[in-house]
Structure 1
Amino acid sequence: MTDRLLGKTALVTGAATGIGRVVADRFAREGARVVYADRDAAGAAAAAAAAGQSSRAVTMDVSAEASVAAAFADLAADGWTPDVVVANAGVQLFGQDAEVADLDLDVWRRTIDVNLTGAFLTVKHAVRGMLALGGGSIILTGSPTAVRGEGSDFTAYSTSKAGMHGLGRTVAAAYARRGIRVNTVGPAYTETGLVSTITNDPEARAAIIGRIPMGRAGSPADLEGIMVFLASDESAFATGAVFAVDGGMTTL
């Protein structure tokens, strides 16, 4: 590793598993102090312990403002206000999310609460801390479903990701002159526990991979490099952008 994030304090939501865990681990290897944030307290604690002494865990339910506010307040009190925040926590309710005419309101609300309201609350409290620091970098985990019809039978999930893309652009414009950058990373189908329903269905997996020009699924490791770049000062002039890491899917 190259210590590209030396001197940074980074918080990653959904960091107990999947993309969040892999990105948080890479941030730690790049020299950052890393906060592993997750509503799974035991999972976050185990991940932080494995990363080493410059990491810590916080229990955070991103859909509940009291939980998010308390986590950021506790970090600030300990001198751990993040200047890098990755809003990554999310859900995709397989077997429940559906085409709009068949979608239950409860499924819609649960998805929006975590994916979009959760991103809003994470960004809100991240920005408050970064204003006190004089700047920072926020990274959102988006999706091709936000910009194309890829998730036509996942109305709630696709809409939540479209909202997240809009949130990123809006906040980037609002705070650009105050030193806060906001960018979105859009991975294609990435094999983690979140999408095990597809991974374990050979026909569904083949169909989605067939729509990726590179002809393979993504892995969390495919996102490490772009996340490090956006967290680092190397991306100082990048804000309000969407960086597609999707094997060419959005070129179709």
Structure 2
Amino acid sequence: MVTIVKGRDAYTQAVHRPGRQRNETASSDWVPTTCRMCLVGCAVLVQVEGDKVVNVIGNPDSPKNQGRMCAKGKSGIMNHYNPNRVIKPLKRTNPEKGTGIDPKWQEISWEEAIDIISRKMRKVCQEDPRKLYLQIWGGNELCAWLGALGPAVGTPYIQTGVSPTCGKTLHSIQHIIAGGFHTEPDFAHCNYLIDCGTQMGVATREAFNRHVPECAKARERGMKLVVVDPVGNNAAAK
């Protein structure tokens, strides 16, 4: 169950923890939710004034990000209010395709979009499920459900990701071999960690809001960190 914290003490109820100074001036509503600016899905608290989102912070109750938040997550407000944001399904009405050719997109209802897609999927699955190719294009945060949808309809062909080196190869192999996408280091027990090109804490790594401090603690207890990367980045800094 999700509880929306309201009223004068909303902020203090939402983020106060023993040992931290209270802020008694807040008068907004704080809504617990999940950041979807990347595949990690950090837990956040969104500050709402009226019907407007005015701030977003990390949720200290979350074991995943422990109250931390990155700049990309903070920019989710700009993404939410982007005037060019697509918020309705679009249907191509021009069958001619090519560079410089207007696809003549037309807004349709969600009901119509679901009906069109489901009818076409049903037809393909009745003929041969292997003819169905599942692919998304966008942030990898959208790909978790594909691991269940593929076996459900009977197709082995799943494609995710946004790059030819990561999404087009690595993710597919992870789905085939491991049945999923989610892997992360075991900092609590690892004594020798080899970081091959992930630039942990700099440009990538799942849940780096949590992984960076966990890696630091592991190094303090003696874990050896080896970074293999052609780019000299902060992941290998002493």
TM-score w.r.t. the length of structure 2 is 0.23
Q: Give the greater-gyration-radius structure (CA).
A: 2
Larger proportion of helix: 1
Higher relative contact order, structure no. (Cα contacts within 8 Å, ≥ 6 residues apart): 1
